[in-house]
Amino acid sequence: MRNVQTICVLTTLSLILPWRASAQQVGAGPTAPSVASAQKSNTAKPSTIQHFVFIIKENRSFDSYFGAFPGADGASQGTMSTGQVVTLGPMPDINPHDQDHTNEGSLTDTDNGKMDGFDLPPYANENGELSAYSQFTQSGIPNYWQYAQNFVLADHMFSALHGPSFPNHLYTIAAQSGGVLEIPLIETSSSVKGPIPEFSWGCDANPLITVRMVDSNGDLNAVPPCFDFPTLADSLETAGISWKYYAPPQGQQGYVFSTLDAINHIRNTNLWAEHVVNTTDFVTDALSGNLPSVSWVVAGPQSEHPPNSVCLGENWTVQQINAVMQGPDWGSTAIIVLWDDFGGFYDHVVPPVVDGFGLGMRVPALIVSPYAYAGPGHVSHTQYEISSVLKTIEEAFGLPPLTERDAKANDLYDSFNFNQTPLPTLVLQPRSCPVNSTNFIQFGSQGVGTHSVPRIVQLTNYETSALTISKVEVSGDFTQTNRCKQISPGFLCRITVGFTPTATGVRTGQLTITDNGPSSPQIVQLQGVGGQLNGAPSYPGVQFNHVTFGSKKKLNAIVTNSSPNPVTVSKVALGGVNAPDFSESTNCSGTIPGGGMCTWNLTFTPTPQDYNFRGIEDASLAIYSDDPGSPLILRLTGVGSALAIAPTAINFGNQTVGKSSPPHNIKVTNTSLSPVSFSSVAALGDYSQTNTCGSALQPGASCQVTVVFTPTLQGIEYGALNLNDNDGTSPQQILLSGTGVTGAPR
């Protein structure tokens, strides 16, 4: 998640849902081919399939996994916000970042159908590494490609909505997210010290944890991540059809993906104990012929969610599929492997619009079954989405749809042929995972003689005996430091790699790790560009933070020429869907002298426009010149809001347990030209509030929220005040803290 509040919609939220359908149809970006429209199977016999296994993995776009697959609608190049077209580089086994893939990040990426903003959200292009623009070929995920070559690969499967895992996982069980847009969280403030409660994604969540959702009135609310809408599990239970949800148990990595934890009438009834079981039970059930009719299967460290190993995740998936194939139920089973969201990785296909929430970005999907449409490398071009899986199961067992989503979605049956000779099993061998987290590191442009921000190569010992590192060498304009000598089984060590170009132009080198493992030596190719110019501030760039509508903020960026030769600037351009809210100017001439510098004056003026629904706004400043590293790209980000709030955090200090503190006041002002409507103002924890805001705050008007702390326990107590409204930054969250003490407070 972002460090600033995650926001995703119009300042006037009455426009949010209708807008998305129209805005995403704008632009000249690539679209799905006509074959991706609805298709119906003419040989569908759903009763042939008695077992559905729905394996849900994490955070990959279709192009990042199968963009190079023969016959698929893939891409090997991507467009950046500057208009540059770049080749998708080698994807690391362990991605260095969990790139931003929030609701607003996804819509920044799509850029109204241009599909050219993937470099802008946080961690997508840190210091020129172009993490979002990376891709596996067959050698990187060989077993996934074998499934695609022998069964069905769906190249127009889309995530349910523009956003991250939690809402998309809700669609995997309910064909809706209940209006949820993001993952549950609590905002933190540097003014409040001490531990923040551990986050959770369901009914187990700490009371301070909330999730952002949009209600039927278009208001954005912070609500507990515990819901009671109907799920496919309920439909199965009512019909007497067996089901299980296989997930990591509480306290283990991946428990957040145990999505039925977010459904109150399942989590807090005997349905949880009877049907939600440890992921490790799936292999046992499959091998013994005890599979239920419907299985959901999610993983922890094997989920492929960055920074987890893709190889480890692929091996886990192979283990689950092997168990089905080696068990007695293979002949009547359909396995659907699907990645829940795109994880911030590039994809070139514009997501179709079906309602105000989605569809979201395209994701990989594999359909593995004896009746999967036979043919080498068969690729289904039918438009599917997460709800398509639910519809397929519903049709198989005669169940009604849950929502309009699964009612209207295409089922998967055109990817089956029930008249063909059933396909044989394909039992695959797990592969040895690479010791090195990546075999390629891309550095951006760096001024000659200056030092880059370092990169990390992680060495992981997946074997059962110690890995001894005997030598680490680096060549070219690159340096390395490490303390790696011996790595115990299951442990890791990190090598830090730096880049200091000695000349301009493309510079290459190699990191070589020699050890006693069977794959030694490990080779990592290194590449960077030697330039003349450096920009400051470095990543994450120029950050304007919170700016209210009707006002502006100015900040500077400094460009330094590290060489003795002058650099001639030919053009300066702002890029990205939010570029109109930024402006630039400079008093420098068109030349930056050798050893000199130039200052760019940057201004952020957020405006509430129909097509600019986000509070968080990302853009790029590209400076084109005769520097070999041109263009020099600086990242810009700001937050626009109608509401000015002061203070943004309150520490009540010491307060006697059972007694109320003196009140603290918070002033809220509407700086926009439109009313801001409030659905609620809510205090969480041992805090209470009263307010004068009413149901709406008129333009230019202010209201007051008064907060009181009444501790029930000794020790520090955290709370939060949430303003739920129709501003783009809603819910605005003021973090509260205080300490309960016995006796009179000091």
**Per-residue pLDDT tens for 366-386?**
999 999 997 777 999 999 999
**Cβ–Cβ < 8 Å for 36, 382:** yes
Say whether pLDDT at 32 is over 80: no
User: Which of the pair, 140 or 187, is modelled with greater confidence?
Assistant: 140
**Span 544-561, mean pLDDT?**
93
- Quote the pLDDT of residue 27: 31
Q: Could you tell me whether strands 378-380 and 152-158 are parallel, antiparallel, or unpaired per DSSP bridges?
A: parallel
pLDDT class of 727 with cuts at 50, 70, 90: confident
CATH number of 347's domain = 3.40.720.10
Report yes or no on 282 lying in a domain. Answer: no
262: Cβ contacts below 8 Å, ≥ 6 apart: 166, 170, 201, 202, 203, 225, 226, 227
pLDDT of residue 535: 95
Q: With 50 as the cut, is the pLDDT of residue 7 above it?
A: no
- What would you measure as the largest C-alpha separation in the chain, in angstroms? 82
pLDDT higher than 90, residue 387: yes
- Report how far residue 556's alpha carbon sits from residue 201's, in angstroms, rounded to the nearest whole number: 39
**Is there a single domain that holds both residue 652 and residue 578?**
no
pLDDT (tens digit, 9 = 90+) per residue, 669-679? 998 888 899 99
Closest CA to 408 of 394, 391, 396: 391
145-150: which pairs have CB atoms within 8 A and are 24 or more residues apart? 145/66, 145/69, 146/426, 146/428, 147/321, 147/337, 147/366, 147/368, 147/426, 148/66, 148/69, 148/366, 148/377, 148/379, 149/376, 149/377, 150/376, 150/423, 150/426
Contact present, 581 and 606 (Cβ < 8 Å) = yes
Query: How, if at all, do strands 732-741 and 632-641 pair?
Result: unpaired
Q: What is the mean pLDDT of residues 134-161?
A: 97
pLDDT value of residue 575: 95
* 636-661 pLDDT tens trace: 999 999 999 999 999 999 999 999 99
Window from 264-278, 407-421, 730-744 with minimum mean pLDDT: 730-744
State the pLDDT at residue 200. Answer: 73
Rg (CA), the chain: 27
Which of 415, 437, 460 lies at the terminal end of a domain, its last residue? 415
The least confident of 490-494, 604-608, 712-716 is 604-608
pLDDT at 192: 39
Please report, as a single letter, which amino acid is at residue 132.
A
Q: What DSSP line would sit under 287-322, residue for residue?
A: HHT---SEEEE--SGGG--TTS-HHHHHHHHHHHHH
In whole angstroms, how far apart are CA 3 and each of 186, 386, 427, 574?
11, 29, 44, 24
Q: Residues 379, 340: one domain? A: yes
Rounded distance, CA 243 to CA 449, Å? Answer: 62
Q: Do the strands 732-741 and 715-725 form a parallel or antiparallel pair, or are they unpaired?
A: antiparallel
Distance (Å, rounded) from C-alpha 648 to C-alpha 671? Answer: 16
Q: 685 and 651 in contact (C-beta within 8 Å)?
A: no
Both 591 and 504 in a single domain? no
Identify the band that residue 186 occupies on the pLDDT scale cut at 50, 70 and 90: low
My answer on whether 552 and 583 are in the same domain is yes
In a domain, 261, yes or no: no
- The values of phi and psi at residue 47, to 5°, are -65, -15
Residue 191 placed within a domain: no
Full residue range of the structural domain in which residue 507 is found: 447-527
- The Cα 89–Cα 76 span in angstroms is 9
Query: Based on the domain organization, do 23 and 116 belong to the same domain?
Result: yes
Query: Taking a C-beta distance cutoff of 8 angstroms, is the pair 199, 184 a contact?
Result: yes
Residues 108 and 144 grouped into a single domain? yes
pLDDT at 607: 84
Residue 90 belongs to some domain of the structure: yes
Domain membership flag for residue 270: no
pLDDT score of 16 = 31
- DSSP secondary-structure letter at 19? H
Do 658 and 726 lie in one domain? The reply is: yes
Q: CA-based angle 368:400:419, to the nearest 5?
A: 35
Residue 109: helix, strand or coil by DSSP?
A: helix
User: Which secondary structure element, helix H or strand E, spans residue 104, and what is its range?
Assistant: helix 103-110
Reported as a pLDDT band with limits 50, 70 and 90, residue 36 is very low
Contact indicator for 737, 717 with CB cutoff of 8 Å:
yes
Average pLDDT over every residue of 102-110: 91
* Number of folded domains that form the chain: 4
Residue 21 carries which side chain, given as an amino acid letter? A
What count of other Cβ atoms lies within 10 Å of the Cβ of residue 101? 30
285 in helix, strand or coil? helix
Q: Report residue 394 as tokens.
A: 């519903």
What integer pLDDT is reported at residue 3 of this predicted model? 36
| Torsion (CA) 46, 50, 51, 54 in degrees, nearest 10 | 20
Establish if 673 belongs to a structural domain. Answer: yes
Averaged pLDDT of the chain: 89
CA torsion sign for 369, 375, 379, 380 is negative
Residue 681 is assigned to a structural domain of this protein: yes
pLDDT band at 2; cut points 50, 70, 90: very low
Read off the pLDDT of each residue in 697-707 and give the average, rounded to a whole number. Answer: 95
Q: pTM for this structure?
A: 0.91
The alpha carbon of 273 is separated from its chain's Cα centroid by a whole number of angstroms, namely 30
pLDDT above 90 for 22: no
Name the region of 608 (left: φ>0; alpha: ψ -120 to 50; beta: rest).
beta
Confidence label for 216 from pLDDT (cuts 50, 70 and 90)? confident
Residue 151 has pLDDT above 70, yes or no: yes
User: Percentage of residues in the chain with pLDDT exceeding 90?
Assistant: 79
Residue 579: per-residue pLDDT: 93
Among 397, 415, 433, give the residue marking a domain's end.
415
| End position of a domain, from candidates 507, 527, 547 | 527
252, pLDDT greater than 60: yes
Question: Is the separation of the CB atoms in 642 and 671 below 8 Å?
Answer: yes
Alpha helices in 181-258 (DSSP H): 232-239
Q: What is the pLDDT of residue 185?
A: 78
Please state the rounded mean pLDDT for residues 139-149: 97
User: Would 205 be classed as within a structural domain?
Assistant: no
Domain CATH for 675 = 2.60.40.10
Q: How many C-beta neighbours within 10 Å does residue 427 have?
A: 11
Q: Are both 523 and 537 inside the same structural domain?
A: no
Can you give the pLDDT at residue 398?
95
Task: Give which of 718, 639, 618, 581 is closest to 5, Cα–Cα.
Answer: 639
Cβ distance 463 to 487 under 8 Å?
no
Instruction: Give 146-190 as a DSSP string.
Output: HHHHHSEEEEEEE-SSSS-HHHHHHHHHHSS-TTB-S--B----T
Q: Which residues of 26-58 are buried (b: 16+ CB within 10 A; e: fewer)?
A: ebebbebeeebeebebeebebebbebbbbbbbb
Q: Are residues 163 and 311 in the same domain?
A: yes
* Same domain (yes/no): 546, 520: no
- Are residues 391 and 309 part of one domain? yes
Q: What is residue 117's DSSP assignment?
A: -
- Return the minimum-mean-pLDDT range out of 62-76, 230-244, 710-724: 710-724
Q: What is the pLDDT of residue 612?
A: 34
- Residues with Cβ within 8 Å of residue 626, at least 6 apart in sequence: 567, 568, 570
Burial class (CB in 10 A: 0-12, 13-18, 19+), 702: middle
Helix axis angle for 232-239 and 386-397, nearest 10°, is 10
Judged against a pLDDT cut of 90, whether residue 199 lies above it is answered with no
Q: Which residues contact 445 (CB under 8 A, 6 or more apart)?
A: 128, 528, 529, 530, 531, 533, 627, 628, 629, 630, 632
Residues 656 and 605 in one domain: no
CB-CB contact of 115 with 107 (8 Å): no
pLDDT in the model for residue 20: 34
Amino acid (one-letter) located at 432: S
- Given this model, what pLDDT does residue 414 score? 94
User: How do strand 294-297 and strand 51-57 relate by DSSP bridges?
Assistant: parallel
